[in-house]
Amino acid sequence: MAEASGGPVPPRTRAIVDLAAICQNYRRLAALAGRSVELMCVVKADAYGHGAGEVSRALFDSGARHFAVATLDEAVGLAEAGLESPVAVLFGLAAGEEREAAARAVRPMINSLGQLERWEREARRLGRRLPCHLMFNTGLNRLGLDLHGGSAGLERVDESSNWLDFEGVATHYAAPENFASGQTGEQAGAFRRVVRTLRERGVAPRHMHTAASAAIVHRRTDDRVRADCTMARPGLALYGYVLRAVGRDGAPTAGLRPALEWRARLSGLHDVARGAAVGYSASFVAPRDMRVGVLSVGFADGLDRRLANRGCALLRGVPCPIVGAISMDLTVIDVTAARGAAESDECVVLGRQWQTAQGISDLIGGVPYEVLCGISPRVPRQYVQTGVPERQS
């Protein structure tokens, strides 16, 4: 941080990540999943914007031993960050990535017969069995080995078992938070049939996993979802959020704590007369004489433009509405009610003591994922343990 006569000046904008909250969420989810279930911690997309390296090391120190990312590049990044733990690549490998993945002991999720054949080919080239997980499409109809092709896919899996170590078999639910739909039960039934058929063919993976965050939280008493499962894949819930249940009441967060707070510094203050326009395109016209502050954060930092004239920031304990368009690097807020507002004051844009990613997503008609993942890499992350600063990246 830069130094000023009054002491350290915070950066123009920063995201403060509470690693203790993430580890507490991990322990809470482990309790919800049950003692017989291991957790595969999903840290893709830079741990949903929280910082994959720092988050993974903290989770490892808390007992996590399985991790998942979206791409081989993300798996390589974790290894280079010092994580010594199995890493699964959820979407499998692109053609040509097999050699590096094998060298780094990555566990691909096999989502197609093509991926299966290429991974087996790499095992044969090396002359040793390679680990992987099998992902089956039971109704999401996005990725996964298809079931509607009869037994051909399962026969191909059986043929590959001499060269491939099927550590796990998995599926992904489309809407486990939606109790108004029977889709989750149908998917769970299809998955059980796959597992039964694999076992009949002599393929017995150590881990069966279907539940991601919403299923861990909302379906924890659903025997159809829990049956046979020895692993679960929390992602969003590690960071303090879970999609709201539909068609059933219930605690929305199950004791989870949002782990990220986003702040931005005031870089200027102006008095604006009634009738004057503020910001690009004059989308806001002052209804009265007012004082505005210029926040050093904009859409290039990940602040969604849909918050223009709708969102707020918290300054000196006072909600200050965003006025006018959000520009690339700056955002204007009405600070009239924030008595004594001064240049270099920090505002809270997002945080559990103010407005969470869930609250922002409600305003823009989105989901918490996009709010957290949308925070730009140019926003520095500062790591703390429940308020105690540790390091910055």
Instruction: Point out the residues that are catalytic.
Output: 44, 280
CA–centroid distance for 161 within its chain: 33
Please count the residues of the chain: 393
- The answer to whether the beta carbons of residues 164 and 130 sit under 8 Å apart is yes
75: which 2 tokens? Answer: 């798996």
Q: Answer whether 389's CB lies under 8 Å from 382's CB.
A: yes
Cβ atoms of 343 and 12 within 8 Å: the answer is: no
CA torsion, ordered 140, 145, 147, 152, to nearest 10 deg: 170
Q: Residues 6 or more apart from 200 whose CB is under 8 A from it?
A: none
Q: Which of 212, 217, 236, 233 is nearest to 22 (CA)?
A: 236
Alpha-carbon gap, residue 27 to 172, rounded angstroms: 22
Q: Measured in whole angstroms, how far is the alpha carbon of residue 70 from the centre of its chain?
A: 11
